[in-house]
Structure 1
C-alpha cells in the first residue's frame, strides 16, 4: 500500500491534515506548536483512494541528543519508510527560513513529493500559497485541512505523483485515449481513462433523485413529493457514450438560517463535501420558479470551490404551450443566468424533464463539454500575445503618478484555469481591471461556464535596498 509521510515545521497543520484524511480525531491538535512528538500511522481515504499516512513531529533544528533532535530523527525515519512526502507550510505566515532549510532535507530524500500550502483559506492564504513556488518543489497545492477545502486538488496531486499506486484496475486504458485540444495548445489535463465525477445539487424537491433515476434507467434512488428525502450523498456509476462517470445525488440545500435539525445539518455538510470532490457540478433548478436566492447561493458556492458548472432547468415539461413560447422562455432564462452569475459567464443552461426524460442527452453533452474546458491549458506564448494586445487597448491605471506595469502571464494549472500575472505594483491593481482581464481571457480562449482564477506576483526591485540606504 502507498505510504505518505506528512512533514513540516511545527504548527503548520500536519495533525489536522492527518485527522482529516483518516476521518477520525486520532492525533491531538492544538494551537500550541510541538504537540506531536512521535510519528503516528493511520489508514487514509481520499475520494476513492486509500493509502497509509504518517503524522510526524514538527521539524526543528537541534543537536541529535536534544528533544528536538530526537523528534527530527523520528521524522527522518518516517521519510525513509514512506513512498512519498506531503511537505506542509503555513500559507498565512508564508515561507520562513525553517521551511527553506528543511526543504533541502526533503529534496535530498529524492522521493515523490507534494508541496501543500495549508491554511490557504482567504485572500492572505492565497497570497502566501504562491510563495511556495520559491522552494522549487513543484506547484503548491492550496489547502485548508481544518475546513476541508482543496482536497480535490490534493486528490489530483496524488494521482499525478503516484499514478501506478493510485490507478484502479478497471480504470487502466491505452494512452491514445488522452485528449489533446489542438496543436496551438499546451494540452489538456483531461484523462478519459478516469471516471468523471459529477455532483447534482439544488434546493429540496428540485427533482435531483428523479433525474438520476432517469439517467440510470432504474428506480435506484428513493423519490417522492416530500422535500428532503435524500440525506446521504450517494455515488452511482454511470456510463454515457463510452465514458465512465461517477455521479452523486445530494441532499437538498436550504438557507443555513432555516436548518435547525442536526441530521439536516449533517446531510448539508455531506452535500458540500460531494461538491468539493466533484469535477462538474449540476445545479438543478425548478424551471417554474428558477433563480431563487438559494439557487444563486449554491451556484456561487460551486464557483468558489472551483468546480465546472452546468445549470439544469428541471420540470421543463410544465413550461409553455408551444415550442416558440418555450424557446423564448429559454432565451430569457439564459440571459438572466448571465446577468445574475457574471463570475461564471457562459454557463450552459439546459432544459430537462426528469419525469419525461426530455433533454437528458443535451445535459450529458453539456457536462462533457464544460469538463473539457475546465481541464484546458493554454500555451504561455498565446497568453502573452493576447495580454500584449489587451494592455495596448486598455492599459492599467496609474497609482500615485506611476503606472502599474504588467510584464507577462502564465497558466499555473487547469481544473479550474488558474493564471498568474507578473509585474510591478500589482498589489494596487484595481478589482475592476482584474475583471477586465478575466472577461478577456474567457472570451479570447473560449472558457465559458468555468471559474477563472487570477493571482498576482510582484517582481522584486533589485534597487529597492539601495534606495532605502540612501
Structure 2
C-alpha cells in the first residue's frame, strides 16, 4: 500500500504550495492569506518510482477552543492519525514561533515519524536557516522552497526511504460525482452523511468550503469519488478574489465529474442562480441528480412552493431524477445512489452501431421527416460519437433541412429505447458527400457542422 504523508503546520507557511508541488497539480487553492485551506485534501504523487498519497491540511491552531478553527484543527489531527509520516512545515523567514513549539510538542506524541521542512528558504544559507528549528526536537530540519522546488525532492527521498517499494495501483473506472449548489444549502453536510463521518467541515456559515475536495470511498463494495465544492453565488455578490477562484474550482469539478448532484434548499425559493448552475451542468453535458435538502424541516407550504418553482424554473431538467432528502438526519440519502448509478451508467453507455441504426430506421418508418420543398431528408444510419454525455451521430442527406421538432422526436426515441435516465443526450448530424460534385464547388465535401441538443 502507498504510504500516506500528511502536511501539517500553522497557517500561511506554504502547505498548499508544497501539496501542489508534490502532486504536480494546481488542485489546492494558494493565496497570500492565512486559513485558506480548511478541509483535508488528498492527492497522488510519485518520486524516484515510488508512489505516495499526500494530504493537505488547514492551518493548525492547537489552542483554539471555538469557531471554525476548532473544526480545522480536528481535521488536521484526523489527517495525522491516518498518515504514515508527517511533514511539519515551518517558515524559515519568520523562525521558530510559540505556535510551532506547541505543534511540535503534539507531533512528538503521535507515534509517527515527523520531518521538519523549513520552507521559503530560497536564496538563504541552509545551515543558518535551519539552525533554530533543531530545538523542536524532531527529525533533522531540511531547507526547502515549495514555490521553487528547491530541496523538495531530497526531502521526499528521505521520507520515502523508510517505506518499502510498492507498485502503482491500476486506475479504476468508477462514478465520480460532484456535489454542487449555492452557499449554505447543506452540501458538506450531505457529503458527511454519504461518507458516514465528519469528513469535511460543515459549519453554520456560508462559504465554509472554499476548495473542491476529492474523496475516494466504497459503498456496498462499489468504488466512488465524491467531490465537495464551494457554494456558487450570483456573480454580482462575488467580491473576494479567493471566492472567485473557489467558483472556478467548482466549475472545474463539474467538468471533471461524471455526475453532478445539484443541491437545493427546501426552505428557500429556487433562485435564478440555481437555474444558471443547472444550465451550466447541462451545457457541460454531465449527468445530473437533483437533491432538495432540508425537506423534513420544510413546512407544507414551503414544500408546495418549491415543487411549483421546480416545475416552472427547472423544467429543462426533465431528464434528471429528483430526490427530497434531509442530509442532517440522513433521510433519503441512500436513495441518491440508485439515481447516481443509473445516471453514470446512462452517461457512459456504449451502443453498437447496428443497434443505433435499427432504432433510427424504425423511428423513420413510424414517422418520416417532413418534406423540404420537393426533397425529403434521408437518414441513413447512426453511430455513437462519444460518452458523458452520449453523442449520437446521424448520417444522411439534406439533414440540415430536418426541423427541430423531428430531432426532438429522435432524441426521445433514443432515450426511451436505451433507457438513458439522468443524462443529457446530444444528437449530431453529418451530411453525406456528393460524389458527382466537383471538389471546388460548395457542398462537395461532408458538412462539418453539427446540431447539438440536450435530452
The TM tier, using the shorter chain, reads 0.5 to 0.7
| Match status 1:412 vs 2:391 | no
- CA distance 1:222–1:466, shift in 2 (3 Å): closer
Q: Distance in 2 between matches of 1:297 and 1:261?
A: 21
Of 284, 292, 304 in structure 1, the residue corresponding to residue 263 of structure 2 is 284
Of 231, 238, 248 in structure 2, the residue corresponding to residue 259 of structure 1 is 238
Matches within 5 A, 1:445-464: 445-464=418-437
Matches within 5 A, 1:255-404: 255-289=234-268, 291-320=270-299, 333=307, 340-341=313-314, 344-404=317-377
Q: Distance in 2 between matches of 1:48 and 1:329?
A: 46
- CA distance 1:238–1:231, shift in 2 (3 Å): same
Give secondary structure in 2 for the equivalent of 1:422. strand
Q: Distance in 2 between matches of 1:209 and 1:419?
A: 36
Q: Which has the larger radius of gyration?
A: 2
Q: Distance in 1 between matches of 2:366 and 2:414?
A: 14
Question: Between Structure 1 and Structure 2, which shows a larger proportion of helix residues?
Answer: 1
- CA distance 1:295–1:406, shift in 2 (3 Å): same
Q: Is the 8 A contact 2:210 2:229 kept in 1?
A: yes
**Cα shift at 1:311:** 0.4
Q: Is the 8 A contact 1:345 1:448 kept in 2?
A: no
Q: Residue 200 of structure 1 aligns with which residue? A: 179
- CA distance 1:376–1:206, shift in 2 (3 Å): same
**Cα shift at 1:362:** 0.3
Q: Residue 217 of structure 1 aligns with which residue? A: 196
**Cα shift at 1:216:** 2.1
- CA distance 1:468–1:356, shift in 2 (3 Å): closer
- RMSD over aligned CA atoms reads 3.1
Instruction: String of CA shifts for 1:234-279, please: whole Å, max 9, x gaps.
Output: 1122211111211111111122233232111100001111111111
Q: Is the 8 A contact 2:293 2:325 kept in 1?
A: yes
Instruction: String of CA shifts for 1:66-122, please: whole Å, max 9, x gaps.
Output: xxxxxxxxxxxxxxxxxxxxxxxxxxxxxxxxxxxxxxxxxxxxxxxxxxxxxxxxx
Q: Is the 8 A contact 1:338 1:345 kept in 2?
A: no
Deviates more, 1:378-387 or 1:417-426: 378-387
**Cα shift at 1:336:** 6.8
TM-score, normalised to structure 2, is: 0.57
Q: Is the 8 A contact 1:206 1:285 kept in 2?
A: yes
Give secondary structure in 1 for the equivalent of 2:296. helix
Q: Which runs of 5+ in 1 are unaligned?
A: 1-20, 25-46, 52-166, 173-192
Give secondary structure in 2 for the equivalent of 1:376. coil
- CA distance 1:254–1:357, shift in 2 (3 Å): same
Q: Is the 8 A contact 1:314 1:352 kept in 2?
A: yes
- CA distance 1:398–1:367, shift in 2 (3 Å): same
- CA distance 1:264–1:455, shift in 2 (3 Å): same
**Cα shift at 1:415:** 2.2
Q: Distance in 2 between matches of 1:199 and 1:317?
A: 23
- CA distance 1:296–1:270, shift in 2 (3 Å): same
Q: Is the 8 A contact 2:342 2:422 kept in 1?
A: no
Q: Distance in 2 between matches of 1:201 and 1:466?
A: 50
